[in-house]
Chains A and B, each alone.
Chain A
């Protein structure tokens, strides 16, 4: 082995070891705990696949999956549509372009928890007061207190924050479309909506893929906003999977059981991400 090869290995091995120790090993441990009735302390027994069997019977777990998916799908669609519209606007020939881009990116640098607290006040006091003032009954009581509306409040806050990042990624996508494509399109009569539909959209498909995958993954793991806005309530209507694993696994004595839930959650996230990349990736076009 040459000294160069030795140096490369000397770099690689400690990094791999660190990653194994703090990422793969806990992953394996979590997997092993999922076959036990460990409560987080004391002794425990191996119970085979019982946790997994119980997961599928547990309505609270079922509800958390239903909420998380509803939330993730709605916010992914909403965020991507709004981000794309905003990106088209911010990429157009406008005044104060860099200032506007700077302003619209602010929500992304603020922490999810504090933003959640601020919006919690907004949904509890400001919005109902506004609803009462204009006589709109749906707004006159707090969304956070209603089981059928609390999820929407979480969507609004999560979207408010993640639109910033997605918009910027779309802007960088729009800048990769060469000008002569538009010029050639203009000769063929492609303007306005048709230009967007047949020229812009296919060419920024890779960016739509990356935004959809990242947005979906982040939404599925929603935690901070739940912690700040609803703590899973009212009546567990906004309990996300991450939040359930945290609250019952760390504090509720369900270490083993929630480990099984976490393993299931991991599998779900991998399957969805792979599926999204395959499906959306097949629609990408190359110039």
Chain B
């Protein structure tokens, strides 16, 4: 996908559309601007009229941040979020393409694999609402009502979508590659690790990005599994924080900003990868 391809209609850039799009950016930036300035203000600076509320702080204060970090146990929550997200991404990229390889290479000739594909992909339509109550019971029974269980559930829940993406992508990897490896005496594992896995690199990036965003931002799964355990992810910390300290807006906004910053940094670093990933994933 070449993102630079444009339709050649007239030679020059379309200025009116560019200007409209620039103005439209305000809808993205305004909520972020509001978050930043409120997070840096002292409570005494908050006024009820609109210009007062949206004015930059007279003195940029970091006090809200240190207090918010303490109340939400920021570093601990951040660590939990990081561990959960990294493990989810790693397991998705290790397990899901393997499943796609076994299924995708066999579903044309063997009914078992075709049914397996349909069975797993149909999981996409199961809403979490129907699973959450039994899931809460089951994970408690298996001693998985913690971040470990959250990771297991993500790996299972993201399987249908990722299987579809990987199986679709696998069609572009010629079968003759595997066959050549087999002729050379390679086992299925060797063919997978040395030929197939490296050949699916662009799809790994897509899956990794989607899994990372999904796991990082999710509230429901950690809430059901870890809620009340005293151990939080970043979104879960916000949820608990909100119910206790909803009146001090400056403090609240500092904690929102703290929750947004890691993902914004991640986005800035791999913006291109994320956008290409979504475009890659969309057309399959």
Contact = CB atoms under 8 A, between A and B. Distances in A.
Is the A/B pair a real complex?
Answer: yes
Interface of A: 3-4, 7-9, 11-12, 15-16, 18-19, 22-27, 29-30, 33, 40, 86, 89-98, 100-115, 117-119, 121-122, 125-126, 129-130, 133, 160, 165, 168-169, 171-173, 175-176, 179, 182, 207, 210, 217, 220-221, 223-224, 227-228, 241-242, 245-246, 249-250, 255, 258-259, 262-263, 265-266, 269-270, 273
Contacts of B8: 93, 179
A23 B156 contact: yes
7 contacts: A97-B6, A104-B24, A107-B28, A125-B48, A168-B275, A175-B1, A217-B125
Contacts of A97: 3-4, 6
Interface in B116-138: 116, 119-120, 123, 125-138
A19 B99 CA distance: 11
Interface in B233-284: 234-235, 238-239, 242, 249, 252-253, 256, 259-260, 263-264, 266-267, 271-272, 274-275, 278-279, 282-283
Contacts, number: 270
B159 A255 contact: no
A11 B14 contact: no
A250 B132 contact: yes
A7 B187 contact: yes
Given A95-B18, A118-B35, A258 B260 contact: no
Contacts of B135: 22, 26
A111 B216 contact: yes
Contact of A110 (B133, B249, B263): B263
B274 A109 contact: yes
A93 B7 contact: yes
Is the contact region of chain B dominated by helix, strand, or loop, or is it mixed?
Answer: helix
Minimum-distance CB pairs A-B, first 4: A7-B188, A111-B217, A262-B130, A29-B134
Contacts of B183: none
Contacts of B264: 106, 109-110
Contacts of B200: none
B259 A119 contact: no
B49 interface: yes
Interface residues of B, number: 100
B138 A26 contact: yes
Interface stretch (B61-69, B100-108, B165-173): B100-108
Is the contact region of chain A dominated by helix, strand, or loop, or is it mixed?
Answer: helix
B238 A117 contact: yes
Given A22-B152, A223-B219, 9 more contacts: A16-B116, A40-B133, A89-B21, A91-B7, A102-B275, A111-B216, A172-B282, A269-B125, A270-B125
